Amino acid sequence: MATIYHNPRCSKSRAALQQMRDQGIEPTIVLYLDNAPDQHLLADLITRAGLSVREAMRDKEPIYKELALDDPELTDEALLAAVAKHPILLNRPFVVTNKGVRLARTPEALAEIL
């Protein structure tokens, strides 16, 4: 069992999906830009991946600046609400397997849970 929170326009996400398929794993693909995870699921994924909310966010996205999400006073809950409303802010790809959750931006990170 495996799930990838996937953006097909992202090279890192495509590479992770291909790495999984190369190992004979056909994951459930969640197109998270179309089906945004809610705050609770986001918090669970991020926590299980061992990341902070800020580490799981794409701070180079224009909406990040527009919403002033770089404000250090913002709580994790406020940041999660922003990601739930604007899923483009979520770094990718998150991959879930029976062995754990990783932000699988490198082949090595993904291999840890395959």
Residue 3 and residue 13 in contact, taking contact as beta carbons nearer than 8 Å: no
Residue 53 and residue 78 in contact, taking contact as beta carbons nearer than 8 Å: no
pTM of the model: 0.91
Residue 5 and residue 93 in contact, taking contact as beta carbons nearer than 8 Å: yes
pLDDT at residue number 91: 96
Percentage of the chain lying above the pLDDT 70 cut: 100
Three-state DSSP at 5 gives strand
Taking only the tens place, the pLDDT of each residue in 9-40 is: 999 999 999 999 999 999 999 999 999 999 99
Pull the structure tokens for residue 94. 């998150």
pLDDT at residue number 59: 95
What positions carry a catalytic annotation? 10
* CATH, range 2-111: 3.40.30.10
* 18-57 residues labelled b (16+ CB within 10 A) or e (exposed): ebbeeeeeebebbebbeebbebeebbebbeebebebeebb
Domain residue extents for the chain: 2-111
Confidence of residue 83 (pLDDT cuts 50, 70, 90): very high
